[in-house]
Chains A and B, each alone.
Chain A
Amino acid sequence: MSDKLLAGPSPHILGGKSISSIMWDVVISLVPVSLTAALYFGPRVLIMLVVSLFSAVAIEAAFMAIRHGDIKRAAVVYDGSAAVTGLLIALVMPPTAPFWLIVIANAVAILLAKQAYGGIGNNIFNPALVARAFVFMAWPALMTRWSLPLGLDNWFADLTSGATPLGSAQATHLELFLGNIGGSIGEVSALAILVGALYLFLKGHIDWRIPGGYVGTAALFTFFAKGFSLDQVLFQVLAGGLLFGAVFMATDLVTSPTTKSGRLIFGIGCGLITMFVRLAAKAPEGVTYAILLMNALVPLIDRFTVPKTFGQVKS
Chain B
Amino acid sequence: MKSFPGGIHPQYNKDLTKAKSIVEMPLPKKVRLLLSQHLGPPCSPLVAPGDEVAQGQKIADTEAYVAAPILASVAGEVTAVDAEGIDILTDPSRSAFIGGKKAYSSPAELRQLIREGGIVGLGGATFPTHVKLSPPEGKTVHTLVLNGAECEPYLTTDHRLMLEQGEELVAGAKLLMEACGAEKAIIGIEENKPDAIANLEELCREQGDIRVARVPVRYPQGGERQLIKTLTGKEVPEGGLPLDLGIVVSNVATAAAVHQAINLGLPLIDRVVTVSGGGVAEPKNVRVRLGTPIADLLDFCGGLTTTAVKVVNGGPMMGKAVSDLNSPVTKGTSGILAFTAAEAREFEERDCIRCARCVDACPQILMPLYLALYSRKRKYDLAEEFHLFNCIECGCCSYVCPSRIPIVKYIQTAKDRITRQRRRK
Interface residue ranges, A against B (CB under 8 Å): 1-2, 5-15, 17-19, 21-22, 76-77, 79, 118-122, 253-260, 306-313
Contacts and interface: CB of A to CB of B under 8 A. Distances in A.
A88 to B, nearest CB: 16
A258 B310 contact: no
A11 B309 contact: no
A12 B367 contact: no
B346 interface: yes
A119 B347 CA distance: 19
Interface in B320-379: 320-323, 325, 337-339, 343-348, 350-357, 359-360, 363-367, 369
A313 B321 contact: no
- What DSSP secondary structure best describes chain A's contact surface? loop
B321 A5 contact: yes
Contacts of B363: 310
Interface stretch (B40-48, B187-195, B398-406): B398-406
Given A79-B350, A254-B353, A311-B237, A11 B318 contact: yes
Contacts of A308: 365
Contacts of A311: 225, 235-238, 240, 364, 390
Given A79-B350, A120-B353, A253-B356, A13 B399 contact: yes
B309 A258 contact: no
B311 interface: yes
A11 B346 contact: no
A13 to B, nearest CB: 5
A5 B390 contact: no
B316 interface: yes
A13 B402 contact: no
B26 interface: no
In order of increasing CB-CB distance, the 3 nearest A-B pairs are A11-B395, A121-B351, A258-B356
Nearest to B238: A311
Contacts of A257: 356
A13 B365 contact: no
11 contacts: A5-B322, A9-B398, A9-B409, A14-B401, A18-B402, A120-B350, A257-B356, A258-B367, A258-B369, A307-B365, A312-B390
Contact of A1 (B308, B393, B408): B308
B351 A119 contact: yes
B316 A11 contact: yes
Given A12-B319, A254-B354, A258-B354, A309 B366 contact: yes
A5 B351 contact: no
Nearest to A255: B354
A306 B362 CA distance: 13
Interface stretch (B4-12, B86-94, B169-177): B4-12
Given A307-B365, A310-B365, A312-B238, A10 B356 contact: no
Given A5-B322, A5-B323, A15-B8, 15 more contacts: A5-B309, A8-B406, A10-B316, A13-B339, A15-B401, A119-B351, A120-B350, A253-B354, A254-B353, A255-B354, A259-B367, A260-B360, A307-B365, A308-B365, A309-B365
B21 interface: no
B353 A12 contact: no
B346 A10 contact: no
Residue from A10, A11, A21, A255 whose CB has the most chain B CB atoms within 10 Å: A11
B69 interface: no
Contacts of A312: 237-238, 387, 390
Nearest to A6: B310
Contacts of A313: 237-238
B207 interface: no
B401 to A, nearest CB: 8
Nearest to A122: B351
Residue from A15, A121, A260 whose CB has the most chain B CB atoms within 10 Å: A15
Residue from A5, A9, A308 whose CB has the most chain B CB atoms within 10 Å: A5
A310 B175 CA distance: 31
A7 B353 contact: no
A126 to B, nearest CB: 12
B185 interface: no
A120 B393 CA distance: 27
Nearest to B321: A7
Contacts of A79: 350
A119 to B, nearest CB: 7
A12 B348 CA distance: 14
